[in-house]
Amino acid sequence: MDDASTQLYARACRHIPGGVNSPVRAFKAVGGTPFYMERGSGSKLHDADRREYVDFCGSWGPLILGHAHPAVVEAVCAAARDGLSFGTCNRLEVELAELLCELVPTAAMVRLVNSGTEAVMTALRLARGSTGRNLVVKFDGCYHGHSDGLLVAAGSGLLTHSTPSSKGVSAAAAAEVLSAPYNDVQKVRELFQERGDAIAGVIVEPVAGNMGLVMPDADFLPTLRGLCDQHGACLIFDEVITGFRFHAGAYAALAGVVPDLSVFGKIIGGGMPIGAVAGKGEIMRLLSPLGGVYQAGTLSGNPVACAAGLATLRTLVELNPYPRLASLAKGFADKVNGSGAPDVHCAAYGGVFTVFFTGKTQLRSLQDVMSCDTGRFAAYFQHMARRGFYLPPSQFELNFISAAHSAAEVEAAAGAALEFLASSSAFEKRSSPV
């Protein structure tokens, strides 16, 4: 008799392509059947087979306060009792916009949308609308949602246009996006030298999270700012992951770099669907109905998502969980890096970390990250799941620690990771005499 998750997956596959509503959930990178979660509470997830996990995925980022935080649930219930959506203006969207602009000083104005993908689409349209140019520069390994133009891979030559990385994306859409290696300021300089008069904007994850954790070099973000200034292009920070992750504001403030536009998502809705584009007044005022850059959304600014976002952000400000999250992540990374196991490196910053299965200790770009042994990651994922730890099911992701995690839980996860490293074949190969 199959377990409940396997049965649900079989049913799902009959009516949902691949059984999932977002591809990474299908466990293709780690094997086995996806776990069907039924309940989340604090740091814990419970699946349909009554297994309990300490969760290091946190719904891919928004649950920085943990699952079903009482203040967030209460705010959502109170808002829902007053009506789920009006399709009109409402008080909560005003309060959330005010709070976002207060916490993100580089944001004079904000437009709320329903996902990170949508917010990025709006930011790019604003960049193009404000500059009258078409080209956008992005970085290999950064993810900015699934809109056409951003599903591109770098072309073979630096100055060739990018190629679509998904079927259904037209060559014309891909041709408007140039991709450069993360942290490669020289490549970006060359792109601006060649095409500067056609570049509308540069979009970047200011700390990369979608290839696993890759930090920006000290000169990377300031150089992007300088080049955009010099050539009249918009600098867009995609802070869907980094926003409110490392302090109660944008990563831009920590980097000391002022972007023209910032994109936020997930975390500002505390688990409800939301996204936001925010930035300088002169650019934001180009949005309809003030200006000629069109953007709209039936459910945008809906009161339930705004209530969840307000409760999350207010709690973050009050609680300031950030120093504790950072020390928990560092503690995990120190244990893994101090294990003596070869071919593994744990990168950590703030409350996030990635265990990279590679011999490299400096990971600065997608090319570095691609050295990872993904088969070994899959074995690690399954080991951790058996020990009761749910990780994002791919090597190229962040693990998220929430305010609800206890030090003992993080320590236990590190212990389980060390157990895996001690038993895995790469360790044995290197440590046994030849």
Give residues in contact with ligand PMP (CB under 6 A).
Answer: 60, 115-117, 120, 143-145, 205, 209-210, 238, 240-241, 265-266, 275
* Catalytic choice (47, 238, 260, 343): 238
Shortest approach of ligand PMP to residue 120 CB, angstroms? Answer: 6
> Tokens 């809109």 identify what position?
147
In the complex, what is the shortest distance from the CB of residue 274 to ligand PMP, in angstroms, rounded to a whole number?
8
Q: What does the DSSP assignment read for 361-386?
A: S---SHHHHTTS-HHHHHHHHHHHHH
Contacts of 131 (CB under 8 A, 6+ apart): 200, 201, 232, 233, 234
Q: Beta strands 52-55 and 389-390: pairing type?
A: parallel
Is 238 in the active site?
yes
Q: What is the DSSP letter of 35?
A: P
> Residue 361: beta bridge partners?
none
Nearest distance in Å: CB 209, ligand PMP: 6
Residue among 44, 138, 187, 266 flagged as catalytic: 266
Give the DSSP H or E segment for 353.
strand 352-356
Closest CB to ligand PMP: residue number: 116
Minimum distance, C-beta of residue 265 to ligand PMP, in the bound complex (Å): 5
Nearest residue (CB) to ligand PMP, 127 versus 240:
240
Q: By C-beta, is 136 or 417 nearer to ligand PMP?
A: 136
Q: In sequence order, what DSSP letters do the residues of 229-264 get, joined into one string?
A: HHHT-EEEEE-TTTTTTSSSS-HHHHHT---SEEEE
Nearer to ligand PMP by Cβ, of 60 and 357: the residue is 60
Question: Considering the complex, what minimum distance in angstroms separates the CB of residue 398 from ligand PMP?
Answer: 9
**Which is nearer to ligand PMP, 240 or 328 (by Cβ)?**
240
Strand order in the sheet with 352-356: 345-349, 352-356, 399-400
- Closer residue to ligand PMP, CB minimum distance, 27 or 427: 27
Closest CA to 111 of 289, 267, 237, 272: 289
3-state SS assignment for residue 83: coil
Instruction: Using alpha carbons, list the distances in angstroms from residue 130 to 201, 222, 286.
Output: 10, 22, 7
Q: Which is nearer to ligand PMP, 72 or 274 (CB)?
A: 274
Compare residues 251 and 420 and give the one whose CB is closer to ligand PMP: 251
Catalytic residue selected from 143, 251, 380, 390 = 143
266 is annotated as an active-site residue: yes
Q: Catalytic annotation on 187?
A: no
- Strand order across the 275-279 sheet: 109-113, 275-279, 261-265, 234-238, 199-204, 135-140, 177-181
Minimum distance between the CB of residue 238 and ligand PMP, rounded to whole angstroms?
Answer: 5
Classify the phi-psi angles of 253: left when phi > 0, otherwise alpha if psi is within -120 to 50, otherwise beta: alpha
Burial group, residue 24, by CB count within 10 angstroms (0-12, 13-18, 19+): middle
Minimum Å distance from CB 388 to ligand PMP?
25
Q: Which residues are identified as catalytic?
A: 143, 238, 266
